[in-house]
Amino acid sequence: MRALSRAKPRVNQTAFPIFAFVGALGGMGLKIKDLSEALGLAFDLGPVLARSRLSFAAPLLVDRVYAVDADIDMLVNKPSRTYGTADHLHLAIRLSTEKLHSTARLHIIFPGRQE
């Protein structure tokens, strides 16, 4: 990951920030496809990642085991000029040890199913 992003060599135990995103998605225990299908969202119609935001309460460190907790902050159906309707899923995925380290907030737009 460091080589792909041309990051400088690590000088301490701090992990590269993208691992907050990688750890959130990989550690959630459920693929986005499976989550969206369980919620009745149209994954097969091609969702769009509208926004992703990472915030850090403490640095992520290498060689640590993090707990991963995910919550649906909001799921709302809205009118859409492009799709007719669209489902907006807002997820918050946190990585923590005894304390919170990072939060990945994802806003994913799913085309609404046309009936």
Give the model confidence (pLDDT) of 67-76 as tens digits.
999 999 999 9
Task: Say what the pTM is.
Answer: 0.85
What percentage of the chain reaches a pLDDT higher than 70? 93
Confidence band for 94, pLDDT divided at 50, 70 and 90? very high
Q: Where are the strands (E) in the chain, listed by range?
A: 48-56, 67-80, 84-96, 100-111
Helix (H) or strand (E) holding 32: helix 32-38
